[in-house]
Structure 1
Amino acid sequence: MEGPKAPKDPTKKRKSFYIMRGKSVAGSPQPDGRGIQFLYMNDGRMLSSARLVGGITDEEMLGLLATTAGFRQLVHSIGVTVEAEDRELVADFCLQMYGHRDVYGSGTTLRLPVQADGMERILELEGCEWSEDDNIPGQIRFEFPQAGTLATVAVRFYLQDGYDAPEVEDEQPVDFTSPYYRGMLEKSLMQTGNNARLKRVIDQARRGEDVTVAFIGGSITQGAGAIPINTECYAYKTFKGFCELTGRGLEENVHYVKAGVGGTPSELGMIRYETDVLEDGRITPDLVVVEFAVNDEGDETKGECYDSLVRKILNAENHPAVILLFAVFANDWNLQERLSPVGRAYDLPMVSTRDTVVEQFYLKPGSGKVVSKNQFFYDSYHPTSVGHTVMADGILHLLQVVDGQEADVDTLELEKIVPPIGGAFEKVRLLDRRHPHEEEPGNGLPSGDGNTVWDQWNLETDCGGFCHVDTELQAVERNLDLGVTPEFADNWMYRGAEGGRPFSMEITCESLLLVYKDSASNQVGCAEVWVDGEKVLYVDPHVNGWTHCNALICFKSGERKRRHVEVRLAPGMEDKDFTILGFGVV
């Protein structure tokens, strides 16, 4: 190899800041065999990355990142670095702008091939063609030729003349063996609670009995930010640590269930618990970790759904142990104060990631700071693999403390405890098109014998125009899978191009929730829910702006009676699509 005969003098670099630095990525499997890492930049994520990673505090500069027009005013060029084991590999860096008319279809996508050799490549913005419909910076993608490719990436924005950015200092690796780190873990333990159920599970595992450890929550439980998502997430690391604590091999007699769904609160979690965790009775968990402390802001009951979910889990015949886990966002926020009364009322073990990390974020290295926000957070909402390790270590610290304690007597009598927030949805169950009385055969549920919850509903349905099955669904990585499983696959879809009658049913129940699909598509319309001739709910599936599961309460009466329910497209939207994913029925 020969170098240039007369290399040019270096060009003076512009001021710049990173939005990603040393970030681990992995190519998730795509239908065409490629691997893609999606990194969403909307909803304030790019601004948060500029603060956390780039050290930007200038509010004017941060504000410019909120729109495509502002982005172009601020950013001159983009530097991208990719480093992988195969240095000859070429990845495509993509920055996609979301559009006004069509979120995913009408905006500009900037693309730059980058060799994975650790050298920075520059994307000059001046010569790029831009769409007139550009709205906001939407997402960054790293596209790899093969699924499963692991790489480390950096992205920085070089600034237009007149803008400044601070120099970024190198960070020290996280020392997981330091006394400061042990002190962090001690702060994570809110309470051990009554340890009887937890000690029983530990002892059962040690004796070689079959034990199932399950996790239910949002995107953090799904593994978002962990690379790879299946083995670096806090759930798997906790499971692995539990096996080590009890002296058992992985999946020897201790079994693992991970049921995290991104962007969803306990309002949906309580409905999907039987399908996603219990797998309709095929699994009986002995320990369940519940993580919704950063997902439940959108819960319209302000905690009653969370309380109901916890009661549902505790009330199982095998008396499982429950650990409440309180994750945290990069702005130091969670719903610990709202939800922790549930743990205190039922005397449950509780672990707070917020208490673990937030205080030390603001200390100096050598004075107690162990991990920075940049090291802990993958973006403004999700932890990195390092952050997932810290979360898991907090739970494992609890298990070690409980393991060293004398066993308590299990005094929990749930029926005698008034729910601290509310338990109206404790017995909620999912109704979808697998129901035994649905017209479609092969639903996989037990036939009615007069005693099941389904029989008690006395259900009669007419799906009308909602006779199709939607396959474009939110899909998640379950358990140890790298591939994704669709949520609520047994749904009812209305196609506006074909039309048809409203969905209607006669049902005997106390309360009802609608589970529906959110979407950014203009082809999806709004719907209305009518109960006994009265409109009780208007549903706009565009609020969240992505393909996503959502649940809303149709009615909560406390009175069990026969009702006529209809779901219909809103007036003027009969030519649009809408998907009923299911119902939550009490």
Structure 2
Amino acid sequence: MENYDLERIKSVIQRAQSGQELTIGFLGGSITQGSLATEHENTYAYRVYKWWCDTFPQAKFNYVNGGIGGTDSYYGVSRAVTDVLMYQPDFVVVDFSVNDVDNIYCEETFEGVLRKLLCWSSRPAVVVLNNVFYDTGVSTQDIHNRLADHYGVPHVSVHDTIYRRMKAGEYNRIDITPDGLHPNDKGHGLVAGEITKFLERIMDDLIQDENLTDDSNTDAADAGADTENDIQDESACSCVLPAPVTANAYEYAKRLTIREICPKLSGFRADTHEKMGHLDHFKNGWIGENAGDSIIFELEGNCIGIQYRKTISRPAVRAQAVLDGDVEHPVLLDGNFDEDWGDCLYIEPVLHHGEKKKHTLEITVLDDESVGTTPFYLMSIIVA
């Protein structure tokens, strides 16, 4: 099946066949979260999870959905552990193909996502999903698939299947995606179908392989024992991957919130509201309301991004960031969001492949007409 390394997926299928408990995970943007599905059970992610449950009723499956709308692989690589990997998944579908269109660092950040997933201690089987803008056919599929091929990770393309069938007249765009991006119930079903068809082909390959082997019960029992030992040994050993394609500065990216760092506050205050799950976005951060409010971080790394809220509740407070005292080149942090679909979890890179050392980052609320309106909400600092 092309040049994919399917051993991890085959291992998950074999463990499901033997009745083990497994965790099925998903990491991505709004389509993964389930935007425009009438209920979560109709999303592509839940339908793929349900395929595992229905196909292997003897096994027990856990479901983890780490989809967050409007987010790309820059954010994804920094939250992969807290939103998916900490649950020790055995199988992960990852998709940032449409949101990475606007991510200028997408090749490097997506490679970081892949490497982080593949090297996690549970050694999950990974499948890259590529969604698409249905009106234009645009996505970052070529970039993502080139990276996936480098690591032998299989990929499923909406562009090469559903989109092409739509262009050929099999579907009307409006019947599968009202806004040209997010699938409706029917569209989610089609996306799930492409993933499950791929998994079924792997199952067929496994059956053919088994038919070619000696059907001796003794040999089969021995083979089963060896397989179990191999799985245990594999999860215990260190991960060996090919050399990265990019500079790969983001593989170990992490988010710093009030839980991880204590910056110097002068006017800014820590948000005291409790965060309720990974979709409760604007919590665990810092709030600045008045002109001159400032917050100072001491950070170490060579890549730094500022994650803050851009809000539709305009006008909103604006701030500026100064890195390492370079007041001649401040970075504007505008809390106003020009779209209307909701508040944005925006990331402003302020250092990319800089010197790896201790850096000082100061963020200050500006003295302009926005003061006194929607406060500035600083979600996190992302460092790599």
Shorter-normalised TM range: 0.7 to 0.9
CA–CA separation in structure 2 for the residues paired with 1:344 and 1:520: 39
Q: Quick one: distance in 1 between partners of 2:203 and 2:145?
A: 23
Contact 1:525 1:540 in 2 (8 A): yes
SS in 2 for 1:303: helix
- Per the alignment, residue 404 of structure 1 pairs with 204
Is 2:302–2:353's contact at 8 Å kept on the other side of the alignment? yes
* 1:531 aligned partner, one-letter code: L
Residues 293-345 of structure 1 deviation map (CA, whole Å, 9 limit, x = unaligned): 11111212142111111111111122111100011222132221122111110
Contact 2:314/2:337, CA 8 A, preserved across alignment? no
Shift of 1:242: 1.6
Q: Give 2:43's match in structure 1, choosing from 233, 251, 254.
A: 233
Which residue number corresponds to residue 67 of structure 2?
260
Match of 2:81 among 235, 260, 274: 274
2:283 corresponds, among 489, 494, 500, to 489
1:442-487 CA distance string (max 9 Å, x none): xxxxxxxxxxxxxxxxxxx2122220428799x99x7xxxxxx412
Deviation, structure 1 residue 415: 5.4
Match of 2:30 in 1: 219
Query: What is the correspondence of 1:260-409 to structure 2 with a 5 Å cutoff?
Result: 260-278=67-85, 281=86, 283-331=87-135, 332-363=137-168, 369=170, 371-406=171-206
Which structure ranks higher in relative contact order (CA pairs < 8 Å, sequence separation ≥ 6)? 2
Q: Does structure 2 conserve the Cα–Cα contact (< 8 Å) formed by 1:470 and 1:579?
A: no
TM-aligned CA distance change 1:488 to 1:430, over 3 Å: farther
Q: Distance in 2 between matches of 1:247 and 1:202?
A: 12
User: Residue 303 of structure 1 contacts residue 422 of structure 1 at CA under 8 Å; is this kept in 2?
Assistant: no
Displacement of 1:507:
2.2
Amino acid at match of 1:299: N
1:362–1:274 CA distance, 2 compared to 1 (3 A): closer
Deviation for aligned residue 1:574: 7.7
Amino acid in structure 2 at the alignment position of 1:218: G
Q: Which residue identity lines up with residue 490 of structure 1 in the other structure? A: N
Residues 478-499 of structure 1 deviation map (CA, whole Å, 9 limit, x = unaligned): 7xxxxxx412520111122xx5
Retained in 2: the 8 A contact 1:311–1:423? no
Identity of aligned residues (%): 26
Distance 1:575 1:362, change over 3 A: closer
Report which of the two has the higher share of helix: 2
Q: How many residue pairs end up in the alignment? A: 352
Tell me the secondary structure at the aligned position of residue 77 of structure 2.
helix
CA distance in 1, matches of 2:168, 2:251: 43
Task: For residue 422 of structure 1, report the CA deviation from its aligned partner.
Answer: 4.3
Is 2:378 the partner of 1:580?
A: yes
Distance in 2 between residues matched to 1:472 and 1:523, nearest whole Å: 26
Instruction: Give the drift of 1:573.
Output: 5.9
Question: Which one has the bigger strand percentage?
Answer: 1
| TM-score between the two structures when normalised by the length of structure 1 | 0.56
Question: 2:307·2:346 contact (CA, 8 Å) conserved in 1?
Answer: yes
- Map of 2:301 onto structure 1: 509
Distance of 2:7 and 2:131 partners within structure 1: 25
What is the SS of the residue equivalent to 1:515? strand
In structure 1, the gaps of 5 or more residues are 1-189, 439-460, 479-484
C-alpha distance in 2, partners of 1:389/1:260? 17
What TM-score results when the alignment is normalised by the length of structure 2?
0.83
SS at match of 1:557: coil
Q: Are the counterparts in 1 of residues 289 and 317 from structure 2 also a CA contact under 8 Å?
A: no
**d(CA) in 1 for partners of 2:255, 2:125:** 23
- Report the Cα distance in structure 1 between the residues aligned to 2:354 and 2:53, rounded to whole angstroms: 43
Q: Indicate if the aligned counterparts of 2:337 and 2:344 stay in contact, CA closer than 8 A.
A: no
Match of 1:567 among 350, 363, 374: 363
State the alpha-carbon separation in 1 of the partners of residues 309 and 273 from structure 2.
Answer: 11
- Aligned equivalents of 2:191 and 2:247: distance in 1? 28
Please say which structure displays the higher CA radius of gyration.
1
Shift of 1:418: 3.1
Match of 2:4 among 193, 196, 200: 193
SS in 2 for 1:522: coil
1:169-188 correspondence to structure 2 within 5 Å? none
Shift of 1:210: 2.1
Greater CA drift, 239-248 or 405-414: 405-414
* Secondary structure of 2:352 counterpart: strand
Deviation of the 1:374 alpha carbon:
2.1
Corresponding residue of 1:173: none
Deviations 1:127-178 (A, max 9, x none): xxxxxxxxxxxxxxxxxxxxxxxxxxxxxxxxxxxxxxxxxxxxxxxxxxxx
Is 1:427 the counterpart of 2:252? The answer is yes
